[in-house]
Amino acid sequence: DTEVTQTPKHLVMGMTNKKSLKCEQHMGHRAMYWYKQKAKKPPELMFVYSYEKLSINESVPSRFSPECPNSSLLNLHLHALQPEDSALYLCASSQALSGANVLTFGAGSRLTVL
């Protein structure tokens, strides 16, 4: 299995809702990532987990809360989002957190905040 699976593919939520994005990989990768991507822009790193511990938080607002329940799963909990948070949220994984490792991306979850 060489894929990163993300659910849901599309999500529409109001500013008072609580929802979660989910990501799963079975490649034995020990680093997992959340990226945010706006139209016509490159992916922006949000969080990195290495061996199930949060290693990097790119000063992301607390309305985004990541969770890594085990080495195969990564969640992003969403609460009280703003319309400007509407974007494509990409999950990725790599063998380890170091520069030479190739990132494998999921297809993304397209989020719309009303």
Partner 1 sequence: GQNIDQPTEMTATEGAIVQINCTYQTSGFNGLFWYQQHAGEAPTFLSYNVLDGLEEKGRFSSFLSRSKGYSYLLLKELQMKDSASYLCAVPNQGGKLIFGQGTELSVKP
Structure tokens at 114: 């009303």
The answer to whether residue 98 forms part of the interface with partner 1 (CB under 8 A) is: yes
Nearest distance in Å: CB 6, partner 1: 9
Q: Nearest to residue 46, comparing CAs of 90, 83, 86?
A: 90
Q: Which stretch binds partner 1 (CB under 8 A): 13-21, 41-49, 59-67, 73-81?
A: 41-49
Does 43 bind partner 1 (CB under 8 A)? Our answer is yes
104 binds partner 1 (CB under 8 A): yes
Binding residues among 10-39 for partner 1 as defined by CB under 8 A:
31
Ranges within 52-91 binding partner 1 (CB under 8 A): 55-56, 88, 90
Round to whole Å and give the CA distance between 43 and 17.
25
Q: How many CA atoms lie within 13 A of 13 on its CB side?
A: 23
What's the rounded Cα separation, in Å, for the pair 4 and 10? 16
